Amino acid sequence: MSTSPLNTQSVTARRSAEAQLRTLVIKFAPAHERLVGGMRRWLRKRLPAAHEVVYEYRDCFVISYSPTERGYEGVIALRGSAEGVRLYFNSGKGLPDPAKLLQGSGSQARWIPVDGASTLARPAVLRLVDAALARNRVPFARTGRGPVVIRSKSAKQKS
């Protein structure tokens, strides 16, 4: 199958990346497998051209939704671990949050816990997502389907 410039990931490469991602979800967040799948579908619907840049860490995985293959340019990220699932806002510190949903104390990122699909339907959460996307500095492609990119960090952590 040929690919267009806006969809540069072959079917075989996507299947391989999806299989690796499923392995990470089962490894780190087996009890949250359905929630992670639902969140990915929800985020893909909002950001169809986003690159899903997947990082494996010692105790979790992170999927950054980025306009490029560079995860640090991501606007929103999903984090899964045995403790649960979180939705991260990479520039969350500056987001308007009248409902006081955002947690964390880092220099930039903030997060909210996601207990179920109903969390994503809350108006306050939707406003946070909209605000984060509106403040995005690197534009997402308007068309196409972004690839799934696996970036393993665990090998680097072991050395």
pLDDT score for 153 = 61
Total domain count, the chain: 1
Tell me if 2 is assigned to some domain: no
Whether the CA torsion 81, 88, 86, 10 is positive or negative: it is negative
Tell me if 158 is assigned to some domain: no
pLDDT score for 155 = 45
pLDDT tens column, 70-101: 999 999 999 999 999 999 999 999 999 999 99
Tell me if 138 is assigned to some domain: yes
Check pLDDT > 50 for residue 158: no
Partners of 5 in beta bridges: none
Tell me if 156 is assigned to some domain: no
pTM of this prediction exceeds 0.85: yes
Residue 121 class from Cβ within 10 Å (0-12 exposed, 13-18 middle, 19+ buried)? exposed
Domain of residue 31: give its range: 11-149
Tell me if 21 is assigned to some domain: yes
Output the average pLDDT for the chain.
Answer: 90
Tell me if 159 is assigned to some domain: no
Quickly state the pLDDT bin for 104 (edges 50, 70, 90): very high
- The predicted model gives 114-119 an average pLDDT of 93
